[in-house]
Structure 1
Amino acid sequence: MLSGRIEELGTEYAAIERSLGDPAVLADTREYTRLTRRHRELTPLITLWTEYRAQERLAQDARSLLTDPEMADLARSELDAALTRMATLENELEVLLLPRDPYDSHDVILELRAGAGGDEAGLFAADLLRLYTRYVEGLNLKLSVADASESDLGGYSRLVAEVAGENAYRAMKWERGVHRVQRVPATETQGRIHTSTVTVAVLPQVEQEDVQLDLSEVRIDVFRAQGAGGQGVNTTDSAVRATYRAGTPEEIMVVCQDGRSQIKNKEKALQILRARLAERQREERAVTEREARSAQVGSGDRSEKIRTYNYPQNRVTDHRLTGDDKNFALDSVMEGALAGVVTALERAEREQQLSEMTDHATA
């Protein structure tokens, strides 16, 4: 079963390599990008499979020499080494064959909203923006703010940004949920620890053809950009507000005012609108199919959380992990060292998938 699935992917891999040499594909930017992305996804699997088949041949050759008195000891040693390596490779191949999130390679719409805690929640939203900016820079991704509502103390009550680059959604998807912070605010005169929250939404960007958006149902308003994002651009009506099905329960509103160009802001607003609409459609399908996984963050209540940032104890705790794996040094994480948390979450997901596959196979 393992070999059959890999052989199918090997056939796909060979076809992609042939296509990448086709002038028609080279001239089609979208198709070329799609194929090169898929080629990169399959390369680690094909590399391991090539080594597995080589070890398989070595094992066969060693078995053929076991009856030779002069070569038996050497053959047995080589056979044991080949079988050990094959077992390791088989485990690695099983991991690579686990279902991938189809949105892993997509760019991301990132939304931060201050929840419980007032001004302190807004300040922590600014801290999270700084954390994410440093984190994605280390992955050669780019974070750009599309719209933000600043609070009086320099934080954010709401912020919308784009994260672009290879596997942006894979890098950011674990951040969706409620983030709780416990610390003494700068404005606290008696040294009391406060608890505040920020909700984070991570929406994969979608292609225009992937979501049905009737532009006749979208109202576009233009106005002068305001706030920090509008400095230097607020002499013209460059900001854009896109409202889907205004005045109905299905209303979605997007504001984009970061760019100097009204056209660019309109394009970005519609892009974010499509991402939100696609997310809503995924949620509706999840409810219909009774899927356990929810696509939205909670209400921002302190009790709903995926992660706690405890400043007095210099500890970040991710509540989706267990044991010693769930705690990390806060000072490092806040400087952008989020890779360790993400790696632990990915490992836990793989272990759960493998366990489910085993349970299914033995059922």
Structure 2
Amino acid sequence: MKDTMRSKLTQLVRRLEEIDQNLQDPDVTSNMDQFRALSKERAEIEPVVLKAKEYEQAEEDLAAAEEMLSDEEMKEFASEEIKAAKKAIEQISSELEILLLPKDPNDDKNIYLEIRAGTGGDESALFAGDLFRMYSRYAERQKWQVEFVSASPSDLGGYKEIVVKIVGQGAYSKLKFESGGHRVQRVPETE
């Protein structure tokens, strides 16, 4: 791990400890705006700190396995443990790099999802309905709320147009690249 990354993780660990101490202070808990801001910052930092502790544990496991190499009876077991620890260190390191990337300020915002059937009549309306069901089920799994804004159902069960508001933490961050046209082509059963 790079020194800059390690120093950033150390700063985050210290900041989390500082936030935890501040959250126990009665003056902070009486000021709801400050309490809310600290709680939000803690929620952003905590996953990174937990992953950093997981990384430290993997490094400790690697060091312990390397110590076992000197014992002839434990040599085979130690080599397997070394491989597993190195693999874990590599995986956790890449996850930490992603967690330390700067966040988009809009990531925690809600979104409006618009689905419109294009040319293709009833077939495209059915596809629009399928898309809506897919997105609404995804939203349910993420524990987001789906609020209908407007809908124009088609005769066969799809939607000519549907607009919904998706409310939940991280909705924008996970759906911000879901834009553009989608195409579906029906294949007859005879082919």
Q: Normalised by the size of structure 2, how large is the TM-score?
A: 0.69
- Conserved 8 A contact 1:25-1:32: yes
Does residue 127 (structure 1) correspond to residue 127 (structure 2)? The answer is no
Distance (Å, rounded) in 2 between the aligned partners of 1:161 and 1:43:
32
Distance (Å, rounded) in 2 between the aligned partners of 1:101 and 1:122:
34
SS at match of 2:112: strand
Hey, what does 1:147 align to over in structure 2? 150
Hey, what does 2:181 align to over in structure 1? 178
Distance (Å, rounded) in 2 between the aligned partners of 1:179 and 1:23:
54
**Larger fraction in helix:** 2
Hey, what does 1:165 align to over in structure 2? 168
Hey, what does 1:73 align to over in structure 2? 71
- Conserved 8 A contact 1:26-1:32: yes
- Conserved 8 A contact 1:110-1:161: yes
- Conserved 8 A contact 2:61-2:85: no
- Conserved 8 A contact 1:55-1:82: no
- Deviations 1:31-82, CA, capped at 9 Å, x for gaps: 545543443333232123224334545666888x79xxxx943898499479
Q: Structure 1 residues 31, 73: CA separation in 2 closer, same or farther (over 3 Å shift)?
A: same
- Conserved 8 A contact 2:13-2:49: yes
Distance (Å, rounded) in 2 between the aligned partners of 1:124 and 1:57:
52
Distance (Å, rounded) in 1 between the aligned partners of 2:50 and 2:133:
38
The higher-RCO structure (CA 8 Å, 6+ apart) is 2
Hey, what does 1:108 align to over in structure 2? 111
SS at match of 1:145: strand
Distance (Å, rounded) in 2 between the aligned partners of 1:149 and 1:90:
48
- Deviations 1:184-234, CA, capped at 9 Å, x for gaps: 7xxxxxx69xxxxxxxxxxxxxxxxxxxxxxxxxxxxxxxxxxxxxxxxxx
Q: Normalised by the size of structure 1, how large is the TM-score?
A: 0.40
Distance (Å, rounded) in 2 between the aligned partners of 1:147 and 1:24:
46
> Tell me, which stretches of 5 or more residues in structure 2 are unaligned?
none
Distance (Å, rounded) in 2 between the aligned partners of 1:146 and 1:117:
24
Aligned residues: 183
SS at match of 1:124: helix
Q: Give the root-mean-square deviation of aligned CA atoms.
A: 3.9
- Conserved 8 A contact 2:65-2:82: no
Distance (Å, rounded) in 2 between the aligned partners of 1:138 and 1:158:
24
Distance (Å, rounded) in 1 between the aligned partners of 2:84 and 2:98:
20
Letter in 1 for 2:21: R
Hey, what does 2:6 align to over in structure 1? 3
Deviates more, 1:102-111 or 1:18-27: 18-27
**Larger fraction in strand:** 1
